[in-house]
Amino acid sequence: MGIPVAIISEALGHDSEKTTRIYLASMEEEKLDAANASILEFLMSGKG
C-alpha cells in the first residue's frame, strides 16, 4: 500500500525497522491485505 516501513515500525513500537521487516517477511501477503482491510474498516467506521 506504499506505507513506509519506518511508519509501520513506529506504529508497532519496534525499536528497529529490521524487526518490522522480519515480521513482514514472515507473513503471507493475503493475511496482510486482510488485516489492512480490517483496520481501514474500523477506522472508517468512526470507532477508532
DSSP summary character for residue 45: T
Using CB atoms within 10 Å of the CB of residue 30, give its burial: 0 to 12 exposed, 13 to 18 middle, 19+ buried. Answer: exposed
pLDDT string in tens for the chain (48-residue length): 688 999 989 999 999 999 999 988 887 888 888 888 998 898 898 875
pTM for this structure? 0.55
pLDDT score for 48: 56
> Can you give the three-state secondary structure of 12-36, one letter per residue?
HCCCCHHHHHHHHHHCCHHHHHHHH
